[in-house]
Amino acid sequence: MFNPPNVMLESPLHAFGLPARAATPAQENRVAMSELPHLGYIVLRGKADDTAFMQGVAGVLGQALVTQPMSVVATTAGAVLWVSPDEWLLACKRSARDALLAALTAALQGVFAQVVDNSGGLTALRISGPDHLLLLRQLGPYDYESLAVGRCASTVASKTGFTVVRTDTEGVVLVFRRSFADYTWRLLERTAKPYRLCITSPAHCADPLFTPLLEIV
């Protein structure tokens, strides 16, 4: 999918006016949230024991796909999340998406595999701060404390679901469906009120895995 250079992308959370509400976290702010808008998302499907598939993808990404469940790895192309034994999600720079799609499709020509652009269907945000785990604990049954750095897990919260990515010890990234963005943000903002929520701008979001992929802030 190609976005003409003169077309402005609109954030799934544009209705909440987040840029105008952005601030620098203070000591009393126990939780901070930042939208990570306009990334590219490519779904890869294939068999982990298929040498042609694994080598084809590795040739484009610069390293092999992770096969350990719940693993996350940084590549030259972006962040790769293990989704299931035969599915991975590549989060990349939006400007690199089309070239990556073309390269992966060409590399997997004739291979039993699937390469799908889901950039319009997903979005992400980062939750950080001293009490971010307390906030997450209120959202659903998953044991977030057990999620180690470099791991991810898909779970549910109320009437929505998301993939939680533990990128460092200071916070996590939630990747979720664009169609649930409004509901997810309202749920998070309401739950975060007791923790003196601070909304930060993407430009000041210090996520080691996803921030380098941001281009439109």
Q: Which CATH number covers residue 26?
A: 3.30.1360.120
Indicate whether 2 belongs to any domain.
no
Residue 70: φ, ψ to 5°: 70, 15
Domain span at residue 31 reads 14-38+121-213
Residues 53, 111: one domain?
A: yes
Indicate whether 92 belongs to any domain.
yes
Residues 75, 113: one domain?
A: yes
Question: Taking a C-beta distance cutoff of 8 angstroms, is the pair 167, 81 a contact?
Answer: no
Residues 92, 166: one domain?
A: no
The H or E element spanning position 203 is: none
Residues 30, 75: one domain?
A: no
Cβ density class 127-148: b for 16+ within 10 Å, e for less: bbbebbebbbeebeebebeebe
How many structural domains compose the chain? 2
| Per-position pLDDT tens, the chain of length 217 | 445 554 578 899 999 999 999 999 999 999 999 999 999 999 999 999 999 999 999 999 999 999 999 999 999 999 999 999 999 999 999 999 999 999 999 999 999 999 999 999 999 999 999 999 999 999 988 999 999 999 999 999 999 999 999 999 999 999 999 999 999 999 999 999 999 999 999 988 889 999 999 985 4
Residues 90, 140: one domain?
A: no
Indicate whether 131 belongs to any domain.
yes
Indicate whether 8 belongs to any domain.
no
97, 117, 137 — which closes off a domain? 117
Residue 21: φ, ψ to 5°: -100, -5
